[in-house]
């Protein structure tokens, strides 16, 4: 076991899940932040924007979760929106613990961050967090500019490789396009949620399929005017 965290910083997150296979290579722990000051056009995870929503977790709890998933074969961590760069201090501490735990397991892992910010828009504190990632998908999602390179939601979003290990891991994926992007759906106590970029028209099909059974979503996160799932 590694040295326990001295500073039990707290992060507000929407959820975490393992294994995520639709947002990055291999088997991944997915952590979705909670709270986002941006307002991307067509934001799908609207429920993650409320800074008072989600749950607050201690960095030590997240570190335990990461250690557990590495034990179960995790090859990487994916962080997606809500916007964890809005909690840069605690987020950075969490990423450092991810690295430390990863090195106890031989260091064969990668960190992928998805953020609505671009590099030139963030202060030094946030750049320091970005520097702890191997790859970063940057830019506000734009529903009017669909695209098909893996793991990116719109054409304005770029995949930046930030480390040698990122170059090794992402080289074969960087320009890969997917006619049917990987997408995971899960049902839990809060509703139905998804990981990955839904193929075009998929959410409308899900909506129709649910209605055809005589049921309907009370609210959905991907339409404006709806607070979340
Ligand atoms: S798409 Fe992501 S970055 Fe953009 S507003 Fe929604 S949660 Fe924030």
Q: How confident is the model at residue 216 (pLDDT cuts 50, 70, 90)?
A: confident
Mean pLDDT of 18-45: 95
136 vs 222: CA distance, rounded Å: 23
The secondary element (H helix, E strand) that includes residue 72 is: none
Residue nearest to atom 6 of ligand 1 (CA): 43
Q: Which atom of ligand 1 is nearest to the CA of 42?
A: 1
Å from CA of 137 to ligand 1 middle: 12
Q: List all residues whose CB is within 6 A of at least one atom of ligand 1.
A: 36, 38-40, 43, 45, 48-49, 81-83, 116, 140-141
The answer to the question of residue 219 being in a domain is no
Task: Report the CATH number that the domain containing residue 65 is assigned in CATH.
Answer: 3.20.20
Q: What is the pLDDT of residue 3?
A: 45
> Which residue do the tokens 């506000």 mark?
140
Residue 130 structure tokens:
């970005």
| Contact in structure between 73 and 105 (CB atoms under 8 Å) | no
The answer to the question of residue 14 being in a domain is yes
The answer to the question of residue 228 being in a domain is no
175 vs 32: CA distance, rounded Å: 25
Q: Which atom of ligand 1 is nearest to the CA of 38?
A: 5
The answer to the question of residue 179 being in a domain is yes
176 vs 91: CA distance, rounded Å: 29
Total tally of structural domains belonging to the chain: 1
> Which residue do the tokens 């290990």 mark?
165
The answer to the question of residue 2 being in a domain is no
Q: What is the pLDDT of residue 133?
A: 98
37 vs 119: CA distance, rounded Å: 16
Q: What is the pLDDT of residue 37?
A: 96
The answer to the question of residue 55 being in a domain is yes
The answer to the question of residue 197 being in a domain is yes
**Domain of 206, in residue numbers:** 10-212
Residue nearest to atom 2 of ligand 1 (CA): 81
> Which residue do the tokens 């809500």 mark?
82
Q: What is the pLDDT of residue 119?
A: 92
The answer to the question of residue 225 being in a domain is no
> In the beta sheet, which residues pair with residue 184?
195
Per-residue pLDDT reduced to its tens digit, 122-172: 999 999 999 999 999 999 999 899 899 999 999 999 999 999 999 999 999
Mean pLDDT of 195-211: 87
> Between the CA of residue 130 and those of 102, 157, 209, what are the distances in Å?
17, 15, 39
Q: What is the pLDDT of residue 2?
A: 46
Residue nearest to atom 3 of ligand 1 (CA): 116
Q: How confident is the model at residue 41 (pLDDT cuts 50, 70, 90)?
A: confident
């Amino acid at each position: 076991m590694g040295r326990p965290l001295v500073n039990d910083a707290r992060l507000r997150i929407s959820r975490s899940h393992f294994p995520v296979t639709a947002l990055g290579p291999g088997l991944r722990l997915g952590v979705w932040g909670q709270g986002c000051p941006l307002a991307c056009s067509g934001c799908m995870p609207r429920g993650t924007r409320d800074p008072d929503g989600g749950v607050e977790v201690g960095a030590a709890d997240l570190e335990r979760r990461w250690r557990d998933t590495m034990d179960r074969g995790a090859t990487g961590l994916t962080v997606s929106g809500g916007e964890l760069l809005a909690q840069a201090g605690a987020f950075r501490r969490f990423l450092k613990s991810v690295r430390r735990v990863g090195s106890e397991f031989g260091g064969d892992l990668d960190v992928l961050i998805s953020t609505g910010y671009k590099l030139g828009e963030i202060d030094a504190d946030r750049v320091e967090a970005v520097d702890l990632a191997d790859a970063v998908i940057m830019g506000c999602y734009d529903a009017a500019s669909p695209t098909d390179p893996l793991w990116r939601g719109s054409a304005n979003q770029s995949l930046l490789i930030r480390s040698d290990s990122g170059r090794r891991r992402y080289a074969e994926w960087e320009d890969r396009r997917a006619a049917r992007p990987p997408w995971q759906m899960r049902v839990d106590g809060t509703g139905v949620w998804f990981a990955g970029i839904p193929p075009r028209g998929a959410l409308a099909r899900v909506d129709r399929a649910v209605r055809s059974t005589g049921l309907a979503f009370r609210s959905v996160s991907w339409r404006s005017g709806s607070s979340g799932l």
